[in-house]
């Protein structure tokens, strides 16, 4: 059976590697943290397997790379493309660092874990009849789901501008996003046109790569690619 969606552009999602707060579940928005040594290894391993000429993420097929301005995301981008096309991507103007991909602004919840956030909210007279849910309730003195939706929808419009005229592989139009756990899951919901509070359970490990695309070569049919065959790698 032929691949009816061959040539359709992809949007690759890259989550930054592990940090100390990733390890213990602390909400990390604006706080600048280094990758742990294990986090560096996570990203390098993903890069070796998935990034490079003839691999899943081929720099020659990337129309653009969008990167969160947080250091842990910038470092992840650098590690993913170590020795495999980073300079050409940058020099050709195909890399943009953008606040649209910054992690959810957690406000009062920065550095807390979920149980601490829920306890704090109850102290503030909130959530007396139900537990806090970031997708529905947002963050005190931080971002609401509506604010996150607005910036992600704006980014999706930019991505569509790269891809709309290339739905059959007319020219390379893949896009890579390098960002954060909550933000990339939020992006996936908006890509699929779901409201932020839609109960879509998504998991993404530090250093992981996810894939979004379209059905039927149609810009109006965004899709989650739950699996794909890996391309044949070029000989070294």
106 close to 139: Cβ distance less than 8 angstroms: yes
Count CB-CB contacts under 10 A for residue 209: 20
Catalytic annotation present for 103:
yes
For residue 26, the Cα-to-chain-centroid distance in whole angstroms is: 19
Q: CA-CA distance, 185 to 133, in Å (whole number)?
A: 14
Strand order across the 174-179 sheet:
95-97, 62-67, 174-179, 11-15, 209-214, 222-224
Widest CA span of the chain, in angstroms? 62
Count CB-CB contacts under 10 A for residue 155: 19
* Helix residue ranges per DSSP H, the chain: 20-24, 37-50, 71-80, 86-91, 114-123, 134-137, 145-163, 181-191
Please name every residue paired with 95 in a beta bridge, in sequence order, or none if there are none: 65
> Which of 18, 103, 110, 143 is the catalytic position?
103
Q: CA-CA distance, 3 to 60, in Å (whole number)?
A: 22
Identify which of 99, 50, 112, 37 has the alpha carbon closest to the alpha carbon of residue 73: 99
Catalytic annotation present for 124:
no
**Which residues are annotated as catalytic?**
16, 103
């Amino acid at each position: 059976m032929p691949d009816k969606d061959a040539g359709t552009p992809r949007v690759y999602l890259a989550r930054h590697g592990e940090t100390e707060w990733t390890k213990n579940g602390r909400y990390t928005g604006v706080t600048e943290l280094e990758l742990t040594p294990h986090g560096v290894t996570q990203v390098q391993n993903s890069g070796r397997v998935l990034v490079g000429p003839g691999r899943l993420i081929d720099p020659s097929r990337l129309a653009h790379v969008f990167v969160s301005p947080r250091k842990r995301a910038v470092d992840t981008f650098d590690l993913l493309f170590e020795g495999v096309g980073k300079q050409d991507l940058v020099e050709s103007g195909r890399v943009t660092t953008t606040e649209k991909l910054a992690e959810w602004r957690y406000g009062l919840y920065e550095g807390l874990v979920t149980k601490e956030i829920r306890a704090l909210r109850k102290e503030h007279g909130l959530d007396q009849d139900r537990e806090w849910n970031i997708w529905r309730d947002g963050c005190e003195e931080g971002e609401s789901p509506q604010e996150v939706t607005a910036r992600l929808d704006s980014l999706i419009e930019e991505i569509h501008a790269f891809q709309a005229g290339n739905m059959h592989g007319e020219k390379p139009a893949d896009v890579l996003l390098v960002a954060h756990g909550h933000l990339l899951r939020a992006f996936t919901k908006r890509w699929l046109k779901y409201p932020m509070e839609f109960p879509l359970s998504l998991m993404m490990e530090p250093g992981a790569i996810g894939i979004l695309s379209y059905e039927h070569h149609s810009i109006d049919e965004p899709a989650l690619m739950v699996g794909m065959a890996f391309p044949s790698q070029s000989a070294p």
